[in-house]
Structure 1
Amino acid sequence: MGRHYKGVADALALLHRAAEAERQWAVCAATLPDESKRQLFRQWWAEASVAQAAGRYVRSCPRYLRGLTCGAKKKDGTHCRSTTLCANGRCKFHGGASTGPRTPEGRARAIENLKLDRLKRGNS
């Protein structure tokens, strides 16, 4: 009976050590500039993508990276404050969204898909 309690105590101690390490890292990361946080975000995104493709558990975005803004300079001179970031650490308006096909083959495929979609919907 006693060894079960020891196993639980060991697991709890491990969890407490991991939580303390994450807290210390969060305090350290809070002092980083936004560009360094954006690099950490890109690294996390890449690791999460690999894990998801392999069917493994994907850990949610770390707390110290939540609330990170796009930060791109807009036309009016202010910085973008969007917090919905894509893989490159910018929002969909400042480098996160696709700009469309560039090659002639890609453009031909896009037009073909558009035609197929219109046929499916009944719009010519």
Structure 2
Amino acid sequence: MTDTAPAGRRDAFDSGCPSRTILNHVASRWGTLILTGLLEGPQRFHVIRDRVDGISEKMLSQNLRVLAFDGLVAREVEPSSPPKVTYSLTPLGTELAGHMSSLLGWITLRTDEILAAQERHGEG
């Protein structure tokens, strides 16, 4: 499949489909947490970093850049010294983050069951 295929004909199961790249961006651990964290509203870099425990500044910066490139996150710079940069979800990002939030909620709700299954699997 090529990049010129109509949007309705894209197939994420096809290794050449551009949606695979987007899936990698949003379904990564950091992408998912950043997007769902921004559902709380516009945030400065340090707030996102502190909210997404364990992410390095380098990884946060890289992920925000990619998510902005994908049109999911907006970056607003206030002219001041030093400049204040705020990140927020675009309408497209808000739509996606709502779905990702449901996924995170399901994982949180079912974590004990999944851990029990892992334990049972380890005993076999």
TM superposition score category, shorter chain reference: under 0.3
Larger Rg: 1
Q: With structure 1 as the length reference, what TM-score do the two structures score? A: 0.24
Q: With structure 2 as the length reference, what TM-score do the two structures score? A: 0.24
**Is the strand fraction higher in 1 or 2?**
2
Q: Greater relative contact order (Cα 8 A, min sep 6): structure 1 or 2?
A: 2
